Amino acid sequence: MNMKIIIIGGVAGGATAAARLRRLDEEAEIILFERDEYVSYANCGLPYHIGGTIGNREDLFLQTPEGFRSRFRVDVRVKSEVIAIDPEEKTVTVKDLKTAAIYKEGYDKLILSTGAQPVKPAISGIKNENIFSLRDVPDMDRIKSAITGKKAASAVIVGGGFIGLEMAENLKEAGLSVSVVEQADQVMGTVDYPMAAMVHHYLRSRKIDLFLNENIIAFESDNGRVKVHLASQKSLTADMVLLSIGVTPENSLAKGAGLEIGRLGGIVVNDYMQTSDADIYAVGDAVEVKNPVTGSPTLIPLAGPANKQARIAADNIITGNSRVYKGTIGTSVAKLFDMTVASAGASERLLSREGIKYMTSISHAGSHAGYYPGALPLSVKINFAPDGKLLGAQVVGFGGVDKRIDLLAQVIRNGGTVYDLQEIEHAYAPPFSSAKDPVNMAGFIAENILAGRVKIVHWNDMDKVGADTMILDVRTKEEFDSGHIDKAVNIPLDELRGRLSEVPAGKPIYIYCAVGLRGYIASRILSQHGYTAVYNLSGGYKTYSCVLHDQRNSTGRECDSFPVIRDDGETRG
């Protein structure tokens, strides 16, 4: 007797599982229920149709219900909502949204791919017709209609995560003035604050207004527009509001079926993507999976993990539980106009919350050799354990960011160390990289820290400097005169050996340069001349000044500068 498999939900998880099941078993009966009319579309592409980058709406659709039926012989039933699951009877109750008819369908195996839904807090006025969220194609169409039909000229985006900022870019590209309201002190919570500060600087330069550390207390209709009231007593008025404050797993069906739900609200699955019921599997945004870095459950609402989980679940249904899902480190990337922001693994915030000891370093480089035209700024931040294990990485820049985060992510994924970063063999030619790639450089810096060759301080340590500490700026006089840390003394690196008498031996010495390299060389000189309390500023003046300007809500050219990479890989910065 042929196996009967029901899949609830399409898009990345459900559609992938259906196609994989058919490729593995030509005789299985496969039914896919989708409550919307679209079964397989590029969810991640929705913002780019709104912004006009993807001009043809039809390009978003990867497969139609008809195409799915003819190619994979899958019984696709759109506009069909599963309203209940009975694990004992092994049936689902379905409501046909076109006719309102309700019926039951039996199964041998079931896959839940119910996804996640946007968070909508209980704020006064939130049901205003000009307040939107973006989850699916109908949402996209409503937002697009507000822009093209109602001629919306301004927007407030609530939430500064990846999707919120992608929408900020695309609404700006569509001609709207855009403001972003974020409850935290930074956008993009998966990156650490010094990296976010660079993003803040860039977004402001692109005329995106940022309102950080702000809570919304009410929405109010205002002559066809929306007034957004903030806890700080400020108010913003716009033609439309987009809620992008996160998603929560759609777990109501699973709860109703008595399946185990985790502490984060996701469906609990084992390594085989199997729920607490042996005949029910679950994949995608609705499930909790293991974070290999922390060992704790996590929610990762990304298309890549959903596709991989769906493939594994399908394999395990057909061949028995033979494949395991090893978890996800949440590697993600976002395009913000010309800037790219990417992260993988654990941020400082997550590591602190989990009680995991860590160290961190920041380095700045160019996207390729500086003497080759077109090199662009690239900043790398890594978080690593005292034993050298790489725990997290973030890259912000204007070229080659995706390549670097992919290298870093694989080291994290494989449980590798900062020493592995030193050994990464990358494709090198001047138009693409430097002899020592920025990822290699991050490993070299971390190894120097772990080996005790250099002691470092971070940007937030500089305000704690007392009268008994010397701040030493080893940049050139011209660089120093263009901006420096308060109370710093300028002794250019090339003059340091001849001016050691000006450096007090009995005080801690905090050294900095533009990005950290000259500071490291200076620290080695002093250390080998008997100075014991010598510290180098991680990320140099570039990181410090970007954070300082961000806290003052001002601009600073240092956030846009980057060092020059010579062919031998040495950095002048």
pLDDT, averaged across the chain: 93
Give the mean pLDDT of 71-89: 95
Q: Which two tokens stand for residue 317?
A: 């249904």
3-state secondary structure of 323: coil
Task: Give the percent of the chain with pLDDT over 70.
Answer: 97
- pTM beyond 0.75: the answer is yes
Query: pLDDT for 468-482, tens place per residue?
Result: 999 999 999 999 999
Give the mean pLDDT of 356-376: 94
- pLDDT, residue 173, reads 93
Residues 6+ apart with CB under 8 A from 149: none
Confidence check: pLDDT of 556 > 70 = no
Would you place residue 63 in the very low, low, confident or very high pLDDT band (cuts 50, 70, 90)?
confident
Give the mean pLDDT of 404-416: 97
Would you place residue 573 in the very low, low, confident or very high pLDDT band (cuts 50, 70, 90)?
very low
More confident residue, 42 or 412: 412
Confidence check: pLDDT of 571 > 80 = no
d(CA 396, CA 337): 13
DSSP code string of 178-241: EEEE-SSSSS-TTS-HHHHHHHHHHHHHTTEEEE-S--EEEEEEETTEEEEEETTS-EEEESEE
Angstrom CA distances, 370 to 51, 432, 438, 518, stand at 33, 11, 12, 17
Q: Which two tokens stand for residue 3?
A: 């196996």
Of 44, 513, 546, 559, the active-site residue reads 44
Q: Which two tokens stand for residue 554?
A: 């001002």
Q: Which two tokens stand for residue 260?
A: 């185990």
Would you place residue 557 in the very low, low, confident or very high pLDDT band (cuts 50, 70, 90)?
low
- pLDDT, residue 560, reads 64
Confidence check: pLDDT of 564 > 50 = no
Terminal alpha carbon distance of the chain: 70
Task: Give the percent of the chain with pLDDT over 90.
Answer: 86
Query: pLDDT for 481-526, tens place per residue?
Result: 999 999 999 999 999 999 999 999 989 999 999 999 999 999 999 9
Query: pLDDT for 259-274, tens place per residue?
Result: 999 999 999 999 999 9
Query: pLDDT for 12-29, tens place per residue?
Result: 899 999 999 999 999 999
Residue 436 — φ and ψ, nearest 5°? -110, 105
Mark 524-550 as b/e (b = at least 16 C-beta within 10 Å): ebbbeeebeebbbbbbbbbbbbbbbbb
Confidence check: pLDDT of 453 > 50 = yes
- pLDDT, residue 558, reads 63
- pLDDT, residue 555, reads 60
Residues 6+ apart with CB under 8 A from 143: 50, 132, 134, 240, 242
DSSP code string of 389-458: BEEEEEEEESSSHHHHHHHHHHHHHTT-BHHHHHH------TTT--SS-HHHHHHHHHHHHHTTS-EEE-
Closest-CA residue to 240 (of 334, 166, 121, 149) = 149
144: left (phi over 0), alpha (psi -120 to 50) or beta: alpha
Confidence check: pLDDT of 464 > 90 = no
Confidence check: pLDDT of 567 > 70 = no
More confident residue, 465 or 143: 143
d(CA 133, CA 143): 8
Give the mean pLDDT of 528-538: 96
The answer to whether 397 and 199 are in contact (CB under 8 A) is: no
Would you place residue 120 in the very low, low, confident or very high pLDDT band (cuts 50, 70, 90)?
confident
Task: Establish whether 44 is a catalytic residue.
Answer: yes
Confidence check: pLDDT of 149 > 90 = no
d(CA 438, CA 520): 16
Confidence check: pLDDT of 563 > 80 = no
d(CA 424, CA 446): 14
Confidence check: pLDDT of 566 > 70 = no
Confidence check: pLDDT of 441 > 70 = yes
Would you place residue 569 in the very low, low, confident or very high pLDDT band (cuts 50, 70, 90)?
very low
Give the mean pLDDT of 551-558: 68
- pLDDT, residue 320, reads 92
Bridge partners, residue 572, by sequence: 564
Would you place residue 133 in the very low, low, confident or very high pLDDT band (cuts 50, 70, 90)?
very high
DSSP state of 54: S
Query: pLDDT for 282-332, tens place per residue?
Result: 999 999 999 999 999 999 998 899 999 999 999 999 999 999 999 999 999
Would you place residue 41 in the very low, low, confident or very high pLDDT band (cuts 50, 70, 90)?
confident
3-state secondary structure of 62: strand
Inter-axis angle of helices 438-450 and 401-413, to 10 degrees?
50
Give the mean pLDDT of 431-459: 95
d(CA 82, CA 79): 10
Give the mean pLDDT of 108-112: 98
